[in-house]
Amino acid sequence: MDRIAIYYHPLFVEHDTGDHPECKERLMVAKPVVERCGLDLEWITPEPAPLDHIALVHDASYIETIRQIAEEGGGRLDWDTVISPRSYDAAVMAAGAGLLAVERSLSVGQSSFLLERPPGHHASCARGMGFCLFNNIALAAKYALEVLGLERVLIFDWDVHHGNGTQATFYNDPRVLYISTHMAGHFPGTGMTRDVGSGDGVGYTVNVPLQCGEGDGAVRLVFETLVEPLTRAYQPQLLLVSAGYDPQEGDPLGGLTFSETSFQWMASYLLSLTRDVGVPGPVCFLEGGYVPDMLADSIVATLKGLLGDTPPFSPAATPDESADVREALEEAKPYWKGVL
């Protein structure tokens, strides 16, 4: 199915963070741009996630804490994670969007983009942080594994910040292959190449920390040397993407220099991989990206890629980019002999 599903609910702009980088204006700008882009899109209104499904990842006491803070008029989980009166409802709806997107992806083979907030990849089982309340992508993966019966899910995270919550959720679990590109030393300070998983999950976490200023050359090299061979070897039954747009050059919370074209190219590349290994998707979850106009244009670029429109893209990696990707490659090789 070539039509892309866009998951959106008005509650997503009622998560009111005030004068904050992760603000409702991000979606208020992006939504009309996506609506006018002329692509073949199907807009889908999600339903709230059942609480027992949110509890697949998050402690019941943590879920209740978010609800209580919102019900009492809002507040902060920490210095940069805001809860407003409607934030709990928005977060439950964002989680529900992920569950529905996975169901539909598996049943009709549809690629999708979740135009949602609050974002999720920093949230762990009992802690929200980094603007995140519930970990939408981790919940979707857990739902696919525990409820829908899948055995292998691949999560690729291209946000400039490492998805520490997602990594922690699946660090011991070989049923999820987690691959992340992010800026080294940036918030939240996790995601070293040596972090490869533990127990049964050893080798199923692959981190590619990039130095400040690195960009499209690293993007291409990561896909050609890590993402493609690992995807083909792992044979996932579902591919999920933490689509953050803060690695784009000019983002105030970033530091990398990805181009708008890189997002279209990555989405197209992932679409091609899913078709080659015979799985649906990709399913893309909005994470970061803090210049609303730039965010909107890059989301449209991603949608073009999900429709199979592959842009010209042949950047050469710099020596530093090559060294960073090579370090990640060498760290992963012992666990993927004959693959990398």
Q: How many residues does the chain have?
A: 340
Pick from 272, 263, 280, 15: nearest CA to 136: 15
- Cβ(181)–Cβ(219) under 8 Å? yes
Q: Is 15 annotated as catalytic?
A: no
**Rounded to 5°, angle at Cα 3 from 226 and 312:** 45
CB burial of residue 10 (10 Å; 0-12, 13-18, 19+) = exposed
- Cβ(7)–Cβ(115) under 8 Å? yes
Q: Which residue among 53, 58, 122, 182 is the active-site one?
A: 122
Pick from 186, 110, 175, 190: nearest CA to 144: 175
Cα–Cα distance list, 248 to 251, 263, 275, 291, 294 (Å): 6, 9, 27, 10, 9
DSSP H/E element including 106: helix 87-108
- Integer Cα distance of 170 and 187 in angstroms: 20
- Integer Cα distance of 303 and 264 in angstroms: 7
DSSP letter string, 129-171 = -TT-SS-HHHHHHHHHHHTS--S-EEEEE-SSS--HHHHHHHT
- Cβ(314)–Cβ(262) under 8 Å? no
Active-site amino acid positions = 122
